[in-house]
Structure 1
C-alpha cells in the first residue's frame, strides 16, 4: 500500500522514471539474495515482523468489536405465608451491547491504521539494517584496501633494501643508509601489522553481524566513483518521498486522530439490548420481556476525549519535526555524495603528482643527486597520498550507495510487498 500525500506525490512526479526503479547492486557489494536473507534474519527485523502480526490481530479484534453476548440466570425460592406454600422461581436472560455504526467504522479505520503503521515500522527496520550492512561492508572494504596498500609499501621497501644492499656492496652507498632504511622498514612493518589486524577485525565484525553474507577472502577492486545520475533535487525528493519514518509519523498521526474521534464518539454510549424470561410462583406465572440499558456519559468520557485529542495534536507536531529532520538528512546525504566524489578527484590528482615526484626523487637517489632521507621522505608522502586516495575512493562510493539506499533504489522491497 502506498502512502502518498499531495505535496510529496507532486514532488515524486517530477522525478524521472528511471530513478524510481530498483538499481542492481554493483558487483563489489553483496548479492541481492544474500542481502535479503541477511535483512530478514536480523533481530530488529524479526521483532518488527512479529509486531506486524500483533497489529493484524489487533486489527481483527477492532473489526469484530469487544462486545459479546452475556448470559445471566437466577434461582430463588419464594415462601408465601398466607398460602403456607413455597414456590420455585427462576430467571434467564441473554444480552449484548450494540456497537453504534459510527463507532464500528472508526474501529475499523483505527485497526487499518494500526496495521499500516506496523508495516511501516517493518520497512524502517529493514532500511536501518540495510544502512548498517552498508556501513559494515564498506568498513571491511576500507580496512582491506588500507591493508593491501600498506602491504604493497612494505614489499616496495623490501625491494629497495635489496637494491641498497647491492649498492653498499659495490661501494655506491654508505652503511649508515642501511640503518636508516632498516628503521623505515621496521616502522612500515608495524603499520602493515596494524592495518592487517584492523582488516581482520572489520571482517570478523561483518561476519558476526551478518552471518548470511559471504565475505570473500580478498576484497574486490573498487571502481572509480561516479557522480550521482540525475539532479540532487530529484534524489532529495525521492529520499523524502520514500522515507518510512515520515510515512510512519503521518500514519501514527492519522491513527491517533481516529482514536480521538472514537473517544469523542464514546460520549454517546452503546446501548445494551437483551431478552429476559422469568418463571414465578412455580411456573404459574411466566414473563418474557426485552431489556434495554444505556449508561450516561459524564465528565470522564469528555476528559478522555480531550486527552486523545491532545495526543493527536502532539503526534501531528512530531510528524512535522520528523519530516524536517528527514529533509535535512536527505540534503546532507546528497551533498556528502557530491562532495566526497569531488574530494576523491582531488586526492587522485594529488596522487598522480606525488607519484611523478617520487619517480624523479628515486632517480635522483640512484644517481647520487639526492640522499636516502629525501627519497624516504618522498616515499612517506607517496604512501600518505595512496592511502588518502584509497580512503577517499571508499568514502565516495559509500556516500553514493547510502543515497541509493535512503532513496530505496537499492536493497529495498516495495511497500506493497512489505505489507503482504
Structure 2
C-alpha cells in the first residue's frame, strides 16, 4: 500500500491504482510539454533564420511553431517574414489577425505583453494598408448550382464573390466553371496598391435534356443512357446532354427490352415514357401461319363440298336404273373428307383467334399518351380438362 496526500489528508490507495492515475494524468501533460518544446524549438530556428536573412525558411519554421502552439507573437513574426518577402496582402492580414488574437489573450490573461503585440500589429497593418492590392471577382447574379470560382486553384468562398479581397502582388489566375458552362480562365497582374475587377462571363454549352418516366419498375430493372448505366438514384432525374443523337435502353428480367432514340436540339426537353412488356409473346409469323392454314383447310372443304354437290345433283338427274353404287360411295367419301376439312379449319380458326390475342403486334410509341390495355390468352390442356387462361392489363 502506498500513502497519497490530498489537501493534507492521508489517503491509502493501492500502488497499482496510483500508478494508473499518474499515467493517465501525466500523458496529457507530457503531450503538452512535448508540443510546447517542439513549438519553442521551431520558434528558435525561425528566429535564427530570420536574423540570417533567410526569410522563406524563417516563415516555414514560424508556421510550424504556430501550428504546434498558437500564439499572436508567432503570427506577428510570420507577418514580418511575409512583408519582407513582398507578400504585402498576406502580411497585412497576418498583422490584423495577430492584433485580434493578442486582444483575446489580453482579455483572458491580463498579461501586458499581449498589449504590446496588439499595438505593434495595428501600427504595422496601418503602415502597409495603402500598398495592399485588392481584387474584385464579379459573378453574375444567376449561376447554376455547382458553379465555383478559384484564384490560383484555391476556391474562392461564395461570401467573397463581388467583394474586394486582399491579394499579394504578382501574377494570378482566375478560373470559374459550372455544370453545362464553358470553363473560364484568365491571368491578371496585380501591383502594389492596385485594385482590379474581373467580370466573369457565363458561356452556356448547347444543352438538351432527357427524363425517364416509368410505368413500373420491376426487380432487376436496369437503364442505360447512351450505353452508360444509370445509378439507382439517377433513374428518374432529368439528365442534361449535348445536342445530337441519344439513346435509351431499359431491361428487366422477364420483360422485353425497351428502346428509344431521337435527335435532340438545343433547349429541347424530352420525357421518355418507359413501358415494359412481358417477354415471350406469340411471334406474328405463328399467327399468320395458323390463320393461313385454317383458310386453306376451309377452301379445301368448300371445294370438296362443291364437288360433292355437283356429283350428287348429276346422280339425282339419272334414272334410278342408271345410278351407280360406285358414284354414291364416292359422294359419301367426299362428304366425309369435307367434314374433316371443315373440322380442321374450325380448330385452326379458333387457334388463330387465341394467337391473335397473344401476339404483340407493335411496340407502343414512348410518346403516346392515354390508357394502355394488353390482353393475354394462354391455352391450358391437362389430362382431365381443357380451357383458356385470359389475363388483361390496363
Larger RCO of the pair (alpha carbons < 8 Å, separation 6+): 1
Q: If the length of structure 2 is used for normalisation, what is the TM-score?
A: 0.24
Structure in which a larger fraction of residues adopt helix: 1
Structure in which a larger fraction of residues adopt strand: 2
Q: If the length of structure 1 is used for normalisation, what is the TM-score?
A: 0.23
Choose 1 or 2 for highest CA Rg. 2
